[in-house]
Structure formats: C-alpha cells, structure tokens
C-alpha cells in the first residue's frame, strides 16, 4: 500500500451494496517477521471464516515450499492470488499462482499491486504477462491487476493504460480515505462513495472491483487520525454500503508488525495475534428474534412471573397479528369475550385435555378466545 494522491471526486452517490464478503490476508503477521507456516495459515483461515468472510485476497502466491494458493483453495473460500510484479521472484510467484489455478479453486490472479504508482506508462512486459497468463489458466479464473484509485482517476496521463484495461479480465482498485488529508473516520465512507462513483463513469467500470479499503486503529498522517473507534465506524459504514457488490476486499484481517509506520501496522481488524479490535456483530445487526413473525408490541405487559404450565399448542393456532391487534383495547368489551385470567398468568391447566381437539381453528374465531394462547417458552 502506497500513499495516495489526495482526490475527492464529487459526483452522485453510487447506490451499491456485497454478496461475497472478502478480506485481504497477509500470512506474515506474527511478531517474528517471516514466521508463517502452512499450519499457521490453516489457523488463520479458521479465524477468517469464523468472522464471516467468504473470500480472501493475498499479495503473494507462495512462501518457502508452501503453495499458498493451493492451501487456500482447499478451504472453501473464494481466492484472489497476488503476484508481486515486478519483484525479483515474481516469476516463481506466478508459476505458483498458475499451478493453484489449475489444481484448486482460484477465482482471480492479480499481477502487480500499486506498481504503477506515479507511473507515466504501463510496461509492455506487464501487459504481455497478463495476456499469457490468461491462456494458462481455466476460463473461470479472471486475470488482471490492482492499482491505486489515483491511477484509475488520472489514467489519461498514463501511456498504455487502455492496453492494460483491454488485456485485463478484472481491475482491482485500492481506495484509502485515510490518505486524503483532513479526513475523519465519520466521513471516510463518503470519500469511498464519491471516488467509486467517479470510476463508475469510466468505460472500464464493468471490470472494476474494490481490492483494498480500510482505516487504521493507530497513527496519524496529514491530520487523519487512526483509532479503534474510527476503525469500527468505517468498517460498519463500508460493510453496509458495499453489501450488494459481487465482490469486495476489506484491508485487512491482521495487524502487520513488520511494517514501519504506526498506521501501516494497524489496519488489521484483528491484532497480529488474532485478538479482535472491533465488534463484528453490533447490536443493530444481531440475529432474528427467537419468537418469529410477531410484531414487537404483540407480546407485552405480561405479569413478571410469565405464563407457566401451558400445553404445547400447534403453531397454526396463532396467526400473524397486525401490529395494532393488542393495543388500544376499549374498556367496555363484554366480560364473556375475554375471560378474567388470574393475576399470576395461566396456570394449572388440566392434564386431561381431550385429544380430539381439531388441529386447525376456524378462521372466524375471535382473537381473545383460543387465539390468545401463547406457546410454551
């Protein structure tokens, strides 16, 4: 990840929402740089999946004798493999990615990550490698590159850009509002929305995918402040906004102690030793109510000791009441319609209830008679 040229493209907010929930993954996140092993990757993947992520994006395709792509593709995840072009070992990394794509479940191969930062031209070799790689992997594997938002928004200044776009099946864009001076976490999602909307106006928009976006928990840069609260705010905002995109990768799963600056170290959703830094399940996104299909005001104002000893009534007896069924009941209802229950609820129901009671109650039974029974809690 490199610093981004400050860009704030003003345009209409894109109405978007992620069917696949992706996260960036660097296996080198232990206190000892280079300490990753195949076993540590397996443990990392268990942690990643436990937090609801279904896709991972890497920056390398192998380390040591371990083919990272093959390892990940056997874990029931959507896998996007990175090839660190033009690093010295990129050919070895590319071979590993191609091997994984032909023998495992790999969806994307990205050649280069922000390698065109501040460039004025695209290397012809880079375009050629992308074209050749596409011929060496299954048609289901999309091959492309990942670059900064800056290059996407200022692509007219880059010679060979259109050739790169034409050669690529997919174009990954990294958008980091933290690198726009004076940005605060509460407004960071607006930076992402506006820049994404501007790129949607380009003729290559059908190939675009967000491959990095995040907010650090520590460090300062150009009056942008990293904090745990800011990380939580931005993560929640981004996950909500991006929730219907086909694919997107949040940056990143783990903190990376080997990096130099404090903010670069702390983009992780988890610490380097896998402790959570945020609430992945805020109250507003909690699971369904244990009593399905009931409006919130239907079951209310019961005595504190609840209802006991009620037989198991079939669920068909209780229809889906409109929200106003048990509310504003007039005070002059005849006493023979709604019987006076004892103050301690419904208790001492006889055990010898006839077995021949119909399983379905007629639709014209008045609420307040049979329909007022509630299943045993």
The residue range of the domain holding 149 is 22-280
pLDDT tens string 6-50: 443 333 333 333 346 999 999 999 878 888 999 999 999 999 999
- The predicted model gives 180-198 an average pLDDT of 98
92 and 226 both lie in a single domain: yes
Task: Tell me which of 280, 314, 337 is where a domain ends.
Answer: 280
The answer to whether residue 338 scores a pLDDT higher than 60 is: no
- Whether 302 shows a pLDDT value over 50: the answer reads no
Is it the case that residue 299 has pLDDT exceeding 90?
no
Instruction: Say whether both 303 and 187 belong to one domain.
Output: no
Residue 70 included in any domain? yes
Do 116 and 214 belong to one domain?
yes
In a domain, 6, yes or no: no
Q: Is the pLDDT of residue 185 over 60?
A: yes
214 and 332 together in one domain: no
8 Å CB contact between 66 and 38:
yes
- Between 121 and 374, whose confidence is greater? 121
> What confidence score (pLDDT) does residue 325 get?
42
Query: Is there a domain that residue 13 lies in?
Result: no
Q: Which pLDDT score is estimated for 282?
A: 59
Residue 8 lies in a domain: no
Judge if 181 and 237 occupy the same domain. Answer: yes
Q: Please tell me the predicted confidence (pLDDT) of residue 351.
A: 52
145 with 207, same domain: the answer is yes
pLDDT of residue 352: 55
DSSP 220-246: EETTEE--HHHHHHHHHHHHHHTTTSS
* Residue 14 belongs to some domain of the structure: no
Are 208 and 304 in a shared domain?
A: no
Q: Cα angle vertex 241, ends 78, 192, to 5°?
A: 95
Cis omega (within 30 of 0) for bond into 86: yes
Mean pLDDT across 228-234: 98
Clarify whether residues 276 and 314 are in a common domain: no
Return the CA Rg of the chain.
28
Domain-located, residue 9: no
275 and 344 share one domain: no
Q: What is the mean pLDDT of residues 83-92?
A: 98
Domain end, chosen from 260, 280, 300, is at: 280
Domain boundary among 246, 262, 280: 280
Share of the chain above pLDDT 90, in %: 66
Average pLDDT, the chain: 81
- pLDDT confidence of residue 2: 53
Judge whether 235 and 279 are in contact, CB under 8 Å.
no
Amino acid 242: pLDDT: 96
Question: Is 135 a domain residue?
Answer: yes
Query: Do both 214 and 116 map to the same domain?
Result: yes
| CATH number for position 272 | 3.20.20.80
Residue 362 — very low, low, confident or very high, per pLDDT cuts 50/70/90?
A: very low
Which pLDDT score is estimated for 33? 81
The Cα 145–Cα 110 span in angstroms is 5
**The token pair that represents 359 in the structure block:** 């399983």
For residue 304, pLDDT over 60 is answered with: no
**What does the pLDDT look like over 134-171, one tens digit per residue?**
999 999 999 999 999 999 999 999 999 999 999 999 99
Per-position b or e across 239-271, b if 16+ CB within 10 A of its CB: bebbeebebbbbbbbbbbbbbeeebbbbbbbbe
Same domain, 83 and 147: yes
Residue 345 has which token pair?
Answer: 């609820």
Question: What would the mean pLDDT of 360-375 be, rounded to a whole number?
Answer: 38
Q: Are residues 272 and 312 part of one domain?
A: no
At residue 349, the pLDDT reads 46
Within a domain: 3: no
Task: Give the burial class of 313: count Cβ atoms within 10 A of its Cβ; 0-12 exposed, 13-18 middle, 19 or more buried.
Answer: middle
Count structural domains, the chain.
2
């Amino acid at each position: 990840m490199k610093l981004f040229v400050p860009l704030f493209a003003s345009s209409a907010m894109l109405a978007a929402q992620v069917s696949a929930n992706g996260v960036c993954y660097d296996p080198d996140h232990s206190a000892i740089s280079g300490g990753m092993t195949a076993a540590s990757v397996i443990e990392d993947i268990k942690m990643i999946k436990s937090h609801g992520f279904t896709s991972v994006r890497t920056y390398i395709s192998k380390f040591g004798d371990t083919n990272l792509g093959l390892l990940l593709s056997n874990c029931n995840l959507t896998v996007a493999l990175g090839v660190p072009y033009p690093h010295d070992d990129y050919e070895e990394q590319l071979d590993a990615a191609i091997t994984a794509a032909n023998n495992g479940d790999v969806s994307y191969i990205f050649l280069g990550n922000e390698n065109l930062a501040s460039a004025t031209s695209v290397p012809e070799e880079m375009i050629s490698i992308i074209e050749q790689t596409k011929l060496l992997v299954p048609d289901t594997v999309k091959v492309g590159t990942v670059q900064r938002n800056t290059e996407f928004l200022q692509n007219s200044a880059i010679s060979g850009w259109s050739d790169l776009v034409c050669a690529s099946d997919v174009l990954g864009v990294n958008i980091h509002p933290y690198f726009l001076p004076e940005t605060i976490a509460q407004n960071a999602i607006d930076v992402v929305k506006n820049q994404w909307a501007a790129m949607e106006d380009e003729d290559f928009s059908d190939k675009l995918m967000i491959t990095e976006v995040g907010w650090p928990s520590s460090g300062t840069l150009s009056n942008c402040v990293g904090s745990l609260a800011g990380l939580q705010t931005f993560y929640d905002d981004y996950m909500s906004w991006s929730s219907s995109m086909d694919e997107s990768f949040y940056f990143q799963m783990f903190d990376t102690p080997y990096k130099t600056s404090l903010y670069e170290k702390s983009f992780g959703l988890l610490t380097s030793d896998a402790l959570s830094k945020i609430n992945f399940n805020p109250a507003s996104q909690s699971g369904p109510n244990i009593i399905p299909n009931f409006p919130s005001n239907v079951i209310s104002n019961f005595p504190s000791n609840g209802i006991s000893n009620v037989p198991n009534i079939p669920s068909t007896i209780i229809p889906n009441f409109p929200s106003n069924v048990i509310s504003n009941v007039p005070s002059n209802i005849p006493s023979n319609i709604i019987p006076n229950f004892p103050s301690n609820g419904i208790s001492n129901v006889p055990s010898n209830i006839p077995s021949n009671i119909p399983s379905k109650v007629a639709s014209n039974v008045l609420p307040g008679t049979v329909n007022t029974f509630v299943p045993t809690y």
